[in-house]
């Protein structure tokens, strides 16, 4: 059994905010993640919300800026924030040190292209290995899980939620990359990690998944109208249209004046947590 190392714990809103590290078999590296566990009666199993972060981020961005703890404490939600890519000595990176590929930009896929195939297996890490760690080490209820994320992490949340609708009771996102096959960030990442296999690309594209029959009851999306990435990289209108065609209830809120930052995310974080909590009730 792998050893979980506690890097820090702090009391917050009656619960515990922790940062932890373990040796990942899936990525072949050490992986760091954060977990907030609200105060709860001994023996209680709590619902879990998974938050996937965006390009260049680690677990720390949302942990420090997301303003989720007060709401999670009130609603009784465990909040889990993984990293966005493997890291460490020997882990391949983009040779041009571009922010949108390589370290910090794993795109929640299992890479098959060299030199990334060895370590960049974030799909398996987030959907298999880390959930097992959480179930073993925290008072998590495996039957009550939801997933959401931001930007690249919104892409990950949508594709994972659509792939495993029986596992996640609800899916939402802040400014997600909804159709990576059709935008520069996504095309670069999918080609770099998966090569030219169009079927593999479609498995990691929310719009393509829905066109190919994937279904969830509803999606909840917040998007800032002043987001500089809106027109070229995010394109939420594509998701809204494919959901309408498929009969999926998609709430897309365009938020005037908001950008792509954690000022935007933290403003609407409570709305998303409340939405998930409603669907995580027994």
Phi, psi for residue 145 in degrees, rounded to 5: -130, 145
Q: Low-confidence residues of the chain, pLDDT below 50?
A: none
Task: Quickly tell me which residue has 């098959």 as its tokens.
Answer: 112
Q: What is the pTM of this model?
A: 0.97
Q: Which residues are catalytic?
A: 151, 227, 260
pLDDT of residue 96: 73
Q: How many CB atoms lie within 10 A of CB 179?
A: 22
Task: Specify the 3-state DSSP secondary structure of 222.
Answer: strand
Closest by CA to 148, choosing from 50, 267, 77, 255, is 50
Task: Specify the 3-state DSSP secondary structure of 214.
Answer: coil
Q: Each residue of 12-37: pLDDT tens digit?
A: 999 999 999 999 999 999 999 999 99
Closest by CA to 137, choosing from 275, 274, 2, is 2
Q: Each residue of 239-277: pLDDT tens digit?
A: 999 999 999 999 999 999 999 999 999 999 999 999 999
Closest by CA to 68, choosing from 215, 218, 274, 219, is 274
pLDDT of residue 98: 83
């Amino acid at each position: 059994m792998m050893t979980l190392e506690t890097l820090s714990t702090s009391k917050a809103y009656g619960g515990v905010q922790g940062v932890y590290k373990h040796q990942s078999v899936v990525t072949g590296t050490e992986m760091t993640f954060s977990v907030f566990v609200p105060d709860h009666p001994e023996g209680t199993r709590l619902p879990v919300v998974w938050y996937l972060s965006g390009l260049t981020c680690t677990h720390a961005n949302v942990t420090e800026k997301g303003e989720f703890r007060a709401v999670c404490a009130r609603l009784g939600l465990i909040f889990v924030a993984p990293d966005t890519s493997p890291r460490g000595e020997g882990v391949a990176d983009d040779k041009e040190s571009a922010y949108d590929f390589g370290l910090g930009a794993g795109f929640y896929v299992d890479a098959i292209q060299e030199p990334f195939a060895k370590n960049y297996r974030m799909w398996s890490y987030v959907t298999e290995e880390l959930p097992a760690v959480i179930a073993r080490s925290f008072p998590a209820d495996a039957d009550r899980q939801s997933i959401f994320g931001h930007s690249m992490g919104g892409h990950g949340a949508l594709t994972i939620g659509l792939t495993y609708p029986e596992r996640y009771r609800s899916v939402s996102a802040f400014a997600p990359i909804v159709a990576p096959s059709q935008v520069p960030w996504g095309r670069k990442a999918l080609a770099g990690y998966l090569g030219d296999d169009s079927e593999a690309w479609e498995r990691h594209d929310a719009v393509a998944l829905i066109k190919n029959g994937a279904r969830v009851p509803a999606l909840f999306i917040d998007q800032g109208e002043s987001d500089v990435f809106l027109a070229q990289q995010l394109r939420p209108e594509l998701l809204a249209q494919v959901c309408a065609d498929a009969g999926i209830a998609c709430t897309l809120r365009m938020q005037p004046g908001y950008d792509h930052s954690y000022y935007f995310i933290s403003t609407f974080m409570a709305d998303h947590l409340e939405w998930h909590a409603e669907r995580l009730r027994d």
